[in-house]
Structures are given as structure tokens and as C-alpha cells.
Amino acid sequence: MSAGAEEGGARPGRDGAPGAPGAPGAPASGRDRVRGVAVLGSTGSIGTTALRVLDRQRHAFRVSALTAYENATLLEEQARRFVPPFVGLVRDGRPHPADWRTGAECLVGAATLAEVDIVLNAVVGAAGLDATLAGLRAGKRVALANKETLVVAGELVAAAAAQGGGEIVPVDSEHSAILQCVGHRPASEIRRLLLTASGGPFRGWTRERLEQATVADALRHPTWRMGRKITVDSATLANKALEVIEAHFLFGIPYDRIEVVVHPQSVVHSFVEFIDGSVLAQVGVPSMELPVLYALTHPERLADEGVAPFDPVAASPLTFERVRAEDFPALSLGLAAGRAGGAAPAIFNAANEQAVALFLEGRMSFADIASAIGAALDALSGMSAQDRGALLAADAAARAHVREGAGVGRAHRPAEV
Ligand SMILES: NC(=O)c1ccc[n+]([C@@H]2O[C@H](COP(=O)([O-])OP(=O)(O)OC[C@H]3O[C@@H](n4cnc5c(N)ncnc54)[C@H](OP(=O)(O)O)[C@@H]3O)[C@@H](O)[C@H]2O)c1
């Protein structure tokens, strides 16, 4: 929906944009008062990273809500430490304190609480969609790690932001980098976005060797420690396709002006080329604490000593390589789905989520992930994307298609969107 994106609905807050810090009706600046943060997916990689940052920044932020899917033990520990008024556990049936909310609705409940100014959406997968929509409609800042939200429903997200006055600020390091480089310049001054990719654990692997890749191989990421799903997405390069689609919706840049370059050191987080030929990059140690903090404070900056200082000599040499798209077909499938628009990105995302789950369960090979995505996209092209219901139907059909193709029954951990 580049047209919708061009109109700026889902774009990160800029001066005067709806809900942008400083605009009328926007939450007060972080320097003025303590802001409430809901951390959705608090028990995951980004969630625990965010809580480390929030722990250091208690003078500026208060944790107002925490949610997890099923890890009640860690959630309870976090609740004892931060004492939020709202705690939600999506999957009921585990012992938990009586005042916790349960079920998938707790995500929307947390995202729309009056005391929440910022919804940090660190849920994995399409399950994060409704909380993003609800938070934006309620006028909140959504600090978005859950990139799948924008891939499944970029246009709906833009409409929700326009309707409620909320704003999205990206947590993904590449998009945080782009936001910091773009500043307040309009999309018309941007010639090209160049997203960096670490290349994942299989960067130097031949196509033949990739056929034999195991789950343990795929989970051995060279530079980032992340949740299992995004780590596999980094190995297939599906993650970079999700990020290109995310960038398209966030910054209103057409797909033919968004490129990917492999940068194994993960120090340059992305580049922005402007129409005059100047190129800006944002650089830093590969730690998600930096983009998490920036998503909370944008466009301001708060002093923070959590991450080791950047040492350019220690980071040297910085290298860049062409992406081997021919050996990582999930990337091209995702880019084609983004360009096709309609329900195709939602189908790509759901087929990928399901295929990765089956790969992690040992029921699908690494190479079959991309084949399953391609087959789902072929079989389901033309499905409607007119509203949330249609997109969820496309999501469900893609998951079912992948499971049937793999000869597997119902998913034991559905998207719960
Ligand atoms: N990790 C990174 O460095 C990184 C970087 C950039 C972007 N991201 C994005 O951030 C998101 C989270 O990634 P992650 O690596 O933090 O994942 P993760 O470690 O797997 O954590 C996922 C979190 O979401 C919860 N969750 C899982 N399924 C859920 C469902 N159906 N409904 C509600 N909550 C659910 C989990 O709860 P339980 O613990 O109870 O299962 C956990 O708290 C993803 O969209 C990813 O692409 C991650």
C-alpha cells in the first residue's frame, strides 16, 4: 500500500504528524513526566531486553502492563520486579495469580489501558496484529518489534493510526537506523533505502550444503541472540523480506527503491540515500537495547550507559557483499509478495510462520520452508485483503496449506489472532 504509506498514516512520528511527540494531544515528552509502557511478549528476547532498558530508566518510564504467551514462571518474576497494574497470560491453564488476565484478549486489554502511553509490541508473529491496531486506535505510541503486524496488514495499520492518532516507532534495528537517518526529511527526498543483513548462519554455505542444514545449524546466528522464529527467518532470509515490506509501509518508499546488502558484522544498521546523492548510515554495536530505547524516546534521546561504547577499531573491518538471492528463495518470494500486495504478504507471512514451526519441530527440512511458502502463495493468490477478517482468512488458509503439504494436522500453537 505505498499510496497509503505515502499519506503517512503508519509512518513514524514526525513534527505535526498525528500523535507525534509535541503535536497537540500527544503524550507529554519523556522529560516532563513518567510514561507508562505495556510490554507485550515480555518473556521473549526483545521483551527481556526491553525490561533491562526500562529497569535503568525508571525515572522516565514505568512498566504498566506485562504479557506472555505461556511462560508464567518468568512472567511472575517480572511482575514481582516491576509491579505493573496489569499482567496477562495468553495461554490459560498454568497456575497463576488470580488477578492476571488470560486469553488472547489480554493483549488488546494491555494495549488500551489508560495508564499506557507506549505499547512495546514484542509478540512474535501475526498474533501481535490486534494489539497494534488497538493501541494505534487508542492514540498510543506503538514501539513495534512485531514486524509481522505491518506485513500482514500494513494498510489497516495505517488506517488505525490515522483514525486514533497513534504512531508507530520501529524497534527493528534496521528501521530504527533509517528513522534516525531520515529525521524530518520527507519521503520525496529519499532516493533509496539500503537495509543491511548479517547474512545469517548460512552466509558462506553452498546450495548443496544448505539442503542438509539442521535446526541446530539454523539457530546458530553469528551476531544476534534472538527468539527461535526470527533466528530461523534470518537463516532463510525471510526476515529480510519481512523487513523490506515493513520499511515500505513505515517510510512510504516503493519497493524498487528498497535494497538489501549483506554486512556480516551487523555494525552498520542501514543506509539512507538522499536525492542529492548523500548517504547517511546509523552505526553501533549490535545490541537491541539501543533501538528499544530509541523507540521509547524518539525523537529525543535519554542518557543511558547500558551498552558498551562503540569502538571503530575493534569493529573493523566492516565489509559488504551482494545478497545471494538465488540460494535463499524465501527472500525473493517475500519481495514478490510485497510487490503483489493484497493478501499476498499475509499469505507469505503465515506460510512462513507455519513452515518455520514445522522445521523447528523436525517435521520439515530447511529447504522445504521456502518451497512450502511458494506453494501456498501459488495456491492462494487472489484471496481478498479487504478487511481484517479477509486477511485472517488468508492467514488461516496459508497455515492450513502448509500443514496439509507437510502431511500434518492442526497446529498445536495457533496464531490466536
Ligand atoms: N529478538 C530480536 O533481537 C529481534 C530483533 C528485531 C525484531 N524482532 C521481532 O520482535 C518480535 C519478538 O521476537 P523475539 O525474538 O523477542 O521472540 P521470542 O523470544 O520468541 O519472544 C516472543 C514473545 O511473545 C510471546 N508470544 C509468543 N506467541 C504468542 C502469542 N500467540 N500470543 C501472545 N504472545 C505470544 C512469548 O511468550 P512465551 O515466552 O510465554 O512463549 C514471548 O514473550 C518478532 O516479531 C521479531 O521478528 C526481534
Report the chain (417 residues): mean pLDDT per 10 consecutive residues: 35 39 39 91 98 98 98 97 98 90 97 98 98 98 98 97 98 98 96 97 94 96 92 98 98 98 97 98 97 98 95 97 97 98 98 98 97 98 95 98 91 48
**Residue at grid coordinates 485472517:** 392
The Å distance, Cα 274 to ligand 1 centre, comes to 33
* Residue 12 confidence (pLDDT): 58
118 contacts 296 by C-beta, under 8 angstroms:
yes
**Helical pair 366-380 and 329-340, crossing angle rounded to 10 deg:** 20
The Å distance, Cα 145 to ligand 1 centre, comes to 8
Q: How many Cα atoms occupy the beta-carbon half-sphere of 269 within 13 Å?
A: 22
Q: Which atom of ligand 1 is nearest to the CA of 89?
A: 40
Q: Which atom of ligand 1 is nearest to the CA of 48?
A: 16
**Residue at grid coordinates 496484529:** 129
221 contacts 239 by C-beta, under 8 angstroms:
no
> C-alpha dihedral over 8, 353, 200, 313, to 10 degrees?
40
The Å distance, Cα 39 to ligand 1 centre, comes to 11
Distance, in Å, from the CA atom of 197 to the CA atom of 206, rounded to the nearest integer, reads: 18
376 lines ligand 1 (CB under 6 A): no
DSSP 312-343: HHHHPPP--B---GGG-HHHHHHHHHHHH-TT
Q: Per-domain residue ranges for the chain?
A: 2-171
Q: 18 in the Ramachandran plot: left (φ > 0), alpha (ψ -120 to 50) or beta?
A: beta
Distance, in Å, from the CA atom of 285 to the CA atom of 267, rounded to the nearest integer, reads: 6
* Nearest Cα residue to 154 out of 274, 255, 237, 19: 255
Q: Which atom of ligand 1 is nearest to the CA of 148?
A: 45
* Residue 246 confidence (pLDDT): 98
Q: Which atom of ligand 1 is nearest to the CA of 239?
A: 47
- Which of 40, 43, 46 best tests ligand 1's pocket when mutated (most atoms within 8 Å of CB)? 46
71 lines ligand 1 (CB under 6 A): yes
349 lines ligand 1 (CB under 6 A): no
Distance, in Å, from the CA atom of 56 to the CA atom of 76, rounded to the nearest integer, reads: 20
Residues facing 276 on adjacent strands = none
CATH 3.40.50.300 fits 2-171, yes or no: no
Report DSSP state, residue 138. Answer: T
The Å distance, Cα 183 to ligand 1 centre, comes to 28
- Which of 90, 124, 198, 229 best tests ligand 1's pocket when mutated (most atoms within 8 Å of CB)? 124
- Which of 40, 43, 123, 356 best tests ligand 1's pocket when mutated (most atoms within 8 Å of CB)? 123
287 contacts 231 by C-beta, under 8 angstroms:
no
The Å distance, Cα 364 to ligand 1 centre, comes to 22
The Å distance, Cα 381 to ligand 1 centre, comes to 28
288 lines ligand 1 (CB under 6 A): yes
**Residue at grid coordinates 554495536:** 285
The Å distance, Cα 232 to ligand 1 centre, comes to 13
Distance, in Å, from the CA atom of 362 to the CA atom of 171, rounded to the nearest integer, reads: 31
* Nearest Cα residue to 176 out of 268, 314, 59, 57: 268
* Residue 17 confidence (pLDDT): 33
143 lines ligand 1 (CB under 6 A): no
- Which of 40, 45, 108, 243 best tests ligand 1's pocket when mutated (most atoms within 8 Å of CB)? 45
pTM score? 0.93
Neighbours of 167 (CB within 10 A): 28
CA distances to 55, 204, 282, 378, 416 from 343, rounded to whole Å, are 40, 34, 33, 12, 18
* Residue 223 confidence (pLDDT): 87
112 lines ligand 1 (CB under 6 A): no
Neighbours of 117 (CB within 10 A): 23
Distance, in Å, from the CA atom of 99 to the CA atom of 88, rounded to the nearest integer, reads: 9
